[in-house]
Structure 1
Amino acid sequence: MTPAIGVPSPERAARLTSALAVVVASAAAVALLVPDPFADAFFAGWVLLLVGLAVAGAVGAWTNRPPLVWVAALLTTGLAVVGMMSIGLLVAPVALLLVLTAGFSHVSGPREGVREAIVADPPSARVLALKSLAGVTAVAVGGWLVNLGAVARPLFGACARETLSCALAVTHWDAVAITALGLLSVSFGAWLVWRGSYVARVLASEGSG
């Protein structure tokens, strides 16, 4: 008799793919940075960002926070596209794993008790609409800030040799701050939109049930 092969739940699948993403990102970091990790401070920063995003995605998957996983997946995908001609080939597998993780997390849903709390104290349609509008506005403003800080002007100046001390000296910290604020705004706005969508789906399913 052939033993039955169990299909992992979406939650378990999300955790497995997120763990694999961390492993692959760490392996990519070792391959890219060894033997002289900080010979190029800018390059090292991008590589370490990759590992950080993979870890953030894993935290989101293991704590049942789909928005955090989606943010990590989308940022990693963006990093793969931006670095297509350099580190993109090593970033792409991590991005793919995080996108899979985000999909599994989305199917699995948020933490236990969240749905029950929504049903017990449902927000009004007006509140949902206002929060969604605020989310869209935050995403738009955040995108404008990112463009202002990272696209309209460079984040870093030029170095003859890109050591850590030189990188810190030529960093345009005002542009970095504006870009970081923009990314936070985009993330917060996206969370508001996702949250509103999820609450609306929960209430609709309860109403139809």
Structure 2
Amino acid sequence: MEEKLSTQDATEPPPASQSGMFAHQSPGLTNLARPHMFLFEPVGPRVPLSVYLEGREAVRKYSGKSKTKNRYTTRIQILGEAKFQDLECTTVRIETIDANGKPRSRTDLWLAKKRNLIPIRRLNYSYRESKDLPCSESLVKSWQEIHPGIWFPEQTLTERFDSIILRRELIQVTSWRNDYQLETIELNPVLPDDTFTKLELSTEAK
């Protein structure tokens, strides 16, 4: 679903509106808790990168949606090696194909070898808008080594470009952008036993 803003000066996407509910199934771990999926915030599948790289069917199965019909498939290619921000990367392309075999969109990833193969750059393309210019770009601006050899994105940027202008004029004009700054992170934190089992309900009417 494409999100549109009434002003080009906005700095973040419109907030999502959700209704609260109880369920036995996990709603999905936010991508901000997964360093390999950090660049997929604020939108993107809430799955591990290894699942995402297996294609749409694997994502749907992981998310419990494999029983519903899906008319799109995925083509995944390892493009080769490239440098980004002085880091050696493996570049991967994930392309979405419709039921007629026509490519509709793609995501290009730069997986940084010396950062545990965490994506350092992500470009999204919607072929309806342009095959040459990405409709959004995400990148890691700085890193934090939370343990020798274990890295986490410290600063990231995601920029979405106006789809109408991109399609009509083939130029990128920012529609919104997200900047993340990591304040604190702890590896293997010690938590109370009831952190994930104690449920407190409020009966206060809102």
**TM-score normalised by the chain length of structure 2:** 0.23
- Which of 1 and 2 has higher RCO (CA within 8 Å, sep 6+)? 1
Greater C-alpha radius of gyration: 1
**TM-score normalised by the chain length of structure 1:** 0.22
